[in-house]
């Protein structure tokens, strides 16, 4: 078995992914913004883009995964501090900095109204309680503060006519798994073990449309000022990097060892594009911006 | 595939489903039939859907059945599908081929 990097870092370098997030960040009005919360920040891409636009921001980045937090700490293009108190002190002194910390975006460490801008990149669909999450965002935002997010997991993400590519990708992943099992059998080993019951039941994705998100935001006291679909092309190489990400692989191939699931999805990508005679496929990103009442 | 009947297609679907869930420790009252659903009755996870689709293609000697038309409707995943739904989909897909 080849080694697969299952962190989010490889996909975060994909040109399409960078374009989608750069566009999102560049669309934000940063006048009057000093204190930022980057939720489910992963490797800190959005934090870095924001700091690149305005170097006196203080940014609190939060992610459940300490490995991603470590990468964010190492790669952030500005100074980092090691506590929220230190971040507040930097802000009080007019200096920009970031503090990345492992934690849940459902329970934010910020005071009521402390934050000018909350961002969450391609992760809002992962929040276990959508309404509670939005209430928490509204709690930490000051009046007039902004909330922005994007996501590729929503009703409308599939560009009509492209659905077959995504189906083919998963079918090819199963074919790769079959090849791995055949190789194991040739060595006298059993098939790749699977523990059922580790994933949600199929199709229970609870996706919202853009309008659905707008209604949920309004209920939390956040009024939508932008709702847009941004088609972003993804190549075979980009999709391979998406598949290699362990957090997605363990969902798409629930119950299989993550390393093997990641390997299957990575190898399956170019095969799927070849089978469909495609070199890239567009997928819509939902972009939303809202303001705290 | 020309001579394949709706009933024989349903038999294939049920046979593949029985193979799929054989070791799952499920109690299916009356066995799998036309009304059985993949998610509510058989507790399918996403990857089970894919493995079942591939197994169906192998059973039917095909590699290009457009399962996305069965599982995605107007940009969203369907809530569930029954054996009867799958059989109807296969009948249409094979007729169109």
Nearest residue to A166 via CA among A272, A14, A290: A272
Q: Is A156 on the interface with B (CB under 8 A)?
A: yes
How near does any CA of chain B get to the CA of A274, in Å? 13
Radius of gyration of chain A (CA): 20
Q: Which residues contact A121 (CB under 8 A, 6 or more apart)?
A: A21, A24, A38, A40, A41, A42, A45, A46, A149, A150
pTM of the complete model: 0.83
ipTM of the prediction: 0.89
pLDDT at B3: 53
Question: Given an 8 Å threshold on Cβ–Cβ distance, is A158 in contact with B75?
Answer: yes
* B contacts of A199 (beta carbons < 8 Å): 45-47
Question: Given an 8 Å threshold on Cβ–Cβ distance, is B67 in contact with A167?
Answer: yes
Give the nearest chain B residue to A154 (CA atoms). Answer: B76
pLDDT at A204: 67
Q: Which residues contact A275 (CB under 8 A, 6 or more apart)?
A: A168, A172
Tell me which residue in A171, A173, A199 faces B45 most closely, judged by beta carbons.
A199
* B contacts of A157 (beta carbons < 8 Å): 75
Question: Given an 8 Å threshold on Cβ–Cβ distance, is B50 in contact with A174?
Answer: yes
Asked whether the beta carbons of A134 and A219 are under 8 A apart, the reply is yes
pLDDT at A6: 78
* B contacts of A156 (beta carbons < 8 Å): 75
* B contacts of A205 (beta carbons < 8 Å): 77
Tell me which residue in A156, A163, A202 faces B46 most closely, judged by beta carbons.
A202
Helix A210-219 and helix A130-140, axial crossing angle in degrees, nearest 10: 60
The H-or-E segment that residue A123 falls in is none
Phi-psi map region of A9: left, alpha, beta (phi>0 left; psi -120 to 50 alpha): alpha
Asked whether the predicted pLDDT for residue B1 surpasses 50, the reply is no
pLDDT (tens digit, 9 = 90+) per residue, B65-88?
999 999 998 888 899 999 999 999
Rounded percentage of chain B residues whose pLDDT exceeds 90: 72
**Domains of chain B with bracketed CATH:** 6-96 (1.10.1200.10)
Q: Is A47 on the interface with B (CB under 8 A)?
A: no
**A37-66: b (≥16 Cβ within 10 Å) or e:** bbbbbbbbbbbbbbbeeeeebbbbbbbbbe
Task: Indicate the class that CATH gives domain A9-155+203-233+283-292.
Answer: alpha beta
Give the nearest chain A residue to B51 (CA atoms). Answer: A174
**pLDDT truncated to tens, each residue of chain A (293 aa)?**
456 777 777 777 788 888 999 999 999 999 999 999 999 999 999 999 999 999 999 999 999 999 999 999 999 999 999 999 999 999 999 999 999 999 999 999 999 999 999 999 999 998 999 999 999 999 999 999 999 999 999 999 999 889 999 999 999 999 999 999 999 999 999 999 999 887 777 776 788 999 999 999 999 999 999 999 999 999 999 999 989 988 889 989 999 999 999 999 999 999 999 999 999 999 999 999 999 99
Q: Pseudo-torsion of CA A13, A19, A20, A25, nearest 10°? A: 100
How near does any CA of chain A get to the CA of B85, in Å? 16
How near does any CA of chain A get to the CA of B48, in Å? 8
Give the nearest chain B residue to A167 (CA atoms). Answer: B68
Q: How far apart are CA A37 and CA B39, in angstroms?
A: 38
Q: Name which of A167, A192, A213 to mutate to probe chain B: the one with the most chain B Cβ atoms within 10 A of its Cβ.
A: A167
Give the nearest chain B residue to A283 (CA atoms). Answer: B75
* A contacts of B57 (beta carbons < 8 Å): 171
Indicate the domain borders of chain A. Answer: 9-155+203-233+283-292, 163-201+237-281
Please provide the distance, in angstroms rounded to a whole number, between the alpha carbons at the two ends of chain B. 10
């Amino acid at each position: 078995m080849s080694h697969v990097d299952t962190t989010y870092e490889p996909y975060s370098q994909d040109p399409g992914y960078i374009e989608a997030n750069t566009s999102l960040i560049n669309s934000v009005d940063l006048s009057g913004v000093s204190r930022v919360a980057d939720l489910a920040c992963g490797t800190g891409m959005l934090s870095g883009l924001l700091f690149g636009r305005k170097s006196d921001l203080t940014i609190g980045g939060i992610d459940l995964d300490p490995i991603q937090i470590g990468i964010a700490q190492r790669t952030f293009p500005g100074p980092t501090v090691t506590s929220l108190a230190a971040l507040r002190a930097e802000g009080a002194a007019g200096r920009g900095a970031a503090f990345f910390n492992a934690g849940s975006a459902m329970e934010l460490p910020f005071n009521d109204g402390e934050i000018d801008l909350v961002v969450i990149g391609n992760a809002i669909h992962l929040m276990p309680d959508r309404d509670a999450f939005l209430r928490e965002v509204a709690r930490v935002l000051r009046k007039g503060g902004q909330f922005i997010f994007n996501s590729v997991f929503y009703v409308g993400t599939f560009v009509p006519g492209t659905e077959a590519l995504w189906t083919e990708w998963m079918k090819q992943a199963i074919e790769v798994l079959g090849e791995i099992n055949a190789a194991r059998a040739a060595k006298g080993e059993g098939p790749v073990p699977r523990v059922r019951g580790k994933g949600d039941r199929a199709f229970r994705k609870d996706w919202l449309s853009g309008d659905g998100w707008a209604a949920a935001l309004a209920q939390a006291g956040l009024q939508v000022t932008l709702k847009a679909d941004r088609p972003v092309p993804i190549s075979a190489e980009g999709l391979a990097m998406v598949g290699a990400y362990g957090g997605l692989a363990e969902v798409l191939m629930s119950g299989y060892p993550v390393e093997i699931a990641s390997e299957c999805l990575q190898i399956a990508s170019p095969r799927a594009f070849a089978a469909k005679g495609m070199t890239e496929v567009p997928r819509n990103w939902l972009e939303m911006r809202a303001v705290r009442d | 595939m020309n001579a394949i009947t709706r009933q024989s297609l349903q038999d294939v679907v049920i046979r593949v489903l029985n193979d799929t869930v054989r070791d799952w420790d499920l109690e299916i009252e009356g066995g799998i039939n036309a009304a059985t659903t993949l998610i509510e009755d058989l507790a399918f996870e996403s990857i089970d859907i894919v493995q079942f689709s591939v197994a169906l293609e192998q059973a039917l000697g095909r590699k290009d059945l457009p399962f996305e038309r069965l599982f995605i409707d107007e940009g969203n995943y369907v809530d569930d599908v029954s054996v009867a739904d799958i059989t109807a989909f296969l009948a249409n897909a094979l007729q169109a081929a």
